[in-house]
Every structure is written in C-alpha cells, then in structure tokens.
Amino acid sequence: MFRDTYPVQWTGGQAVVTLPEHINAANVGQIREELLTLINRGAATLIVDMTATASCDYAGAEALVRAYRRAVANGTQLQLVVPAEVVRHVLTGNGLHRLVSVYPSQEAATAAGLPVAQASTAGPSQVSQDLLDGTVRNLFHAGLSLQAALDAAHETGQQYIMEALRYVDEAIRDIRDHVFITAAGRSRPHRDRQTALSDAARDSGG
C-alpha cells in the first residue's frame, strides 16, 4: 500500500502536501517522487505547502519544475505556498514563479478559486489547451535562456534582455489569465484574486 513520505491532506480532488524545513540534496529525491506520485494519483489541484520551509537549494527548485511539467501533462493545477522570502528568491532564480501561482499562505491558495482542471467542460477544446500548454512551456524555456544570457551580458545588453524578459512574463500572464477566465465561464472579474496574487509573486521576483 502506498504511504506518503510527507504529510498529505486530501479534500476531494485537492491534495495539500507539507514540505520540510530544509530542502536539499539529502531529501530532494524523495520530495520530487512524492510530488510526481501525488500528481499521478489524480490530484486535480496540488498545493505544495512550504510554510515551514526555511531553506531550499536549486535542486529543490528543479524538483518543483519537474512537478510542474508532470502537472501540465496530467491536467493538474500546481500551487505553491511560500511565505519565506529567501525561498521565493530561489524559485525566482529558475523562473518557476512565471508559471506557477505562489501564495503567502495555504488559505490564500485554497481561496484562489476553481481549478482549471475541474472546469474542462467550460474551457477550450483539448487541442486549444494543448496548444496553450505548449506555448507556455516554450515561453518558460525562453525565459530561462534569457535569464542565463542576462547573467553573462554587459550593461547595454542587459537592458535589452530585461525588456525581453518582461515581454515573456506578460505573455505568460496573459495566457494564464485567458485559461482561468475561460474555465470559470467568464463569471469572474478580469482582475481576479489569482491574477492579482500571480502578479504579486512575479513582481516580488524583480
């Protein structure tokens, strides 16, 4: 029988997994497998609660990126709860904050609204959804490449790269807004809580 490595609470199709105080090479493999297993078990929404997490290395951030890719493939909405600024900084470093909604508390994540995966009948066709997912993935990798170029560029080049990164951020935000609004049957204001919180997470990353 499967036993969760870290505390997990299920509410219908929503799973909340609580991660430890420190995420590093000693436990990142277990954490990655735990997240992938929860997604494979059919979670419509997976909330990764990092409220108690005080430190997270870049291997931990990459584990979250891996979970995001699996979530996209399985139609799972991935949400992160990250109150610690130092942990947010690590996630900003690999661009994950551009794709996944980051919230300051579990209550904020839970209140964010209807998961896209649960509203597929009201959303776009599967072909359109696949196209959107592919576009977001490509933009994500473009952002990573631009970030790497930014670190190596001289001052003049950095200005152009930063401008390109802003366009990538805006494109991803617009796509995510479109998907969320479509899934909700356009029954919510355009500037809903999820969009506002996503913008806050993006802005906190610089």
Nearest residue to 150 (alpha-carbon basis) of 69, 86, 84, 92: 92
pLDDT at 53: 97
Q: What is the pLDDT averaged over residues 126-131?
A: 58
Model confidence at 123: pLDDT above 50: no
Indicate the DSSP class of residue 185: T
Q: Which amino acid is at 131?
A: L
Q: Establish if 102 belongs to a structural domain.
A: yes
The model's pTM is 0.58
pLDDT digits (tens, 9 = 90+) for 154-206: 777 777 788 787 777 777 777 766 655 555 554 444 444 444 444 544 544 44
pLDDT at 185: 54
Domain count, the chain: 1
Model confidence at 10: pLDDT above 50: yes
Pairing state between β 101-103 and 77-81: parallel
pLDDT at 163: 77
Nearest residue to 178 (alpha-carbon basis) of 160, 195, 158, 203: 195
Q: Establish if 2 belongs to a structural domain.
A: no
Model confidence at 38: pLDDT above 90: yes
pLDDT at 57: 93
Q: What is the pLDDT averaged over residues 49-75?
A: 93
Pairing state between β 8-11 and 14-18: antiparallel
pLDDT at 31: 96
Tell me the HSE value of 60 on the side-chain side, using a 13 A CA sphere. 24
- Calpha distance 195→180 (Å, rounded): 9
Q: Establish if 1 belongs to a structural domain.
A: no
Model confidence at 66: pLDDT above 80: yes
Structural tokens at position 179? 């998907």
* Mean pLDDT score of the chain: 77
Q: What is the pLDDT averaged over residues 15-36?
A: 95
Q: Establish if 67 belongs to a structural domain.
A: yes
Which of 3-12, 45-54, 180-189 shows the highest mean pLDDT?
45-54
Q: Establish if 151 belongs to a structural domain.
A: yes
| Helix H or strand E segment including 35 | helix 28-40
Nearest residue to 48 (alpha-carbon basis) of 12, 8, 88: 8
Residue identified by tokens 């600024």 is 85
- Calpha distance 46→39 (Å, rounded): 7
CB 103 within 8 A of CB 79: yes
Q: Establish if 129 belongs to a structural domain.
A: yes
Q: Give the domain CATH number at 91.
A: 3.30.750.24
Q: Establish if 189 belongs to a structural domain.
A: yes
Percent of the chain predicted with pLDDT > 70: 68
Q: Give the strand order in the sheet containing 8-11.
A: 8-11, 14-18, 45-49, 77-81, 101-103
18 is in which domain, residue-wise? 8-204
Indicate the DSSP class of residue 2: -
Q: Establish if 60 belongs to a structural domain.
A: yes
Q: What does 33-91 look like in DSSP terms, one character per residue? A: HHHHHHHHTT-SEEEEE-TT--EE-HHHHHHHHHHHHHHHHHTPEEEEE---HHHHHHH
